[in-house]
Amino acid sequence: MKRLITVLFSLLWVAEVTAQECLTNAVETTPDEVFSQVTDDTILHIPTGLIWQRCAVGQTWNGETETCTGDAEQLTWQQALVYARDYDAELLEGWRMPNVKELASLTERNCVRPSVNTSFFPATPQDSFWSSTPSLNDPERVWTVAFFNASYSIKEKQRAVYLRLVRTNLPD
């Protein structure tokens, strides 16, 4: 019985630790009003005019549960570049890897675990995402944005990191 209680407490503690936490009296940096749904699985960020995939690469949008399902895939930087190129080769819609400033525009700086608007980007992995912006000081590293706490860092190109594609909102 004592072991069962310990296991249940541990599960509750893990659930509590992984829930998004936000400052209560702060002004949101990515409120719902700055986003607009384009399709079920794409979102327009109105201030930048960029259209984002709602889910990380490897996940798919589930309209019934209104969340991203499946396991997000981690790729090396080279794999991420190839993925973006091949993904758009069939669609010809301009999908690409975002630069660091574009990627950072999605971060909700008043929240952690994850630091993103979860209404529009649910189930976002709480880790780093690739940008297309290389480090100026080290050709073997690239800028990433962590959706754990909205921080920026440079990582080795050989590391496995998450990816979310973006495209410019083109006129019809």
pLDDT for the residue numbered 109: 87
CB-CB contact of 11 with 17 (8 Å): no
16's enclosing H/E stretch is helix 2-18
* Average pLDDT of the chain to the nearest whole number: 89
- The per-residue pLDDT for 12 is 40
Model confidence band, residue 171 (pLDDT cutoffs 50, 70, 90)? low
Query: What is residue 160's predicted lDDT score, i.e. its pLDDT?
Result: 98
Vertex 117 angle, CA 115 and 118, to 5°: 95
Laid out side by side, the sheet with 128-134 consists of 128-134, 141-146, 151-156
Q: Where are the alpha helices (DSSP H) in 19-129?
A: 77-91, 100-104
Which tokens hold the place of 80? 């991420």
The half-sphere exposure of 101 on its side-chain side, counting CA atoms within 13 A, is 2
What tens digit of pLDDT does each residue of 31-77 get?
A: 999 999 999 999 999 999 999 999 999 999 999 999 999 999 999 99
Class of CATH domain 2-168: alpha beta
Which pLDDT band, with edges at 50, 70 and 90, does 122 fall under?
very high
Could you give phi then psi for residue 121, rounded to 5 degrees?
-130, 65
For residue 26, what is the enclosing H or E element? Answer: none
Cα distance between residue 19 and residue 29, in whole Å: 19
Over residues 10-27, the pLDDT tens digits come to: 444 343 446 888 887 878
Residue 5 has pLDDT above 70, yes or no: no
Instruction: Say if pTM beats, i.e. exceeds, 0.75.
Output: yes
pLDDT at 113: 85
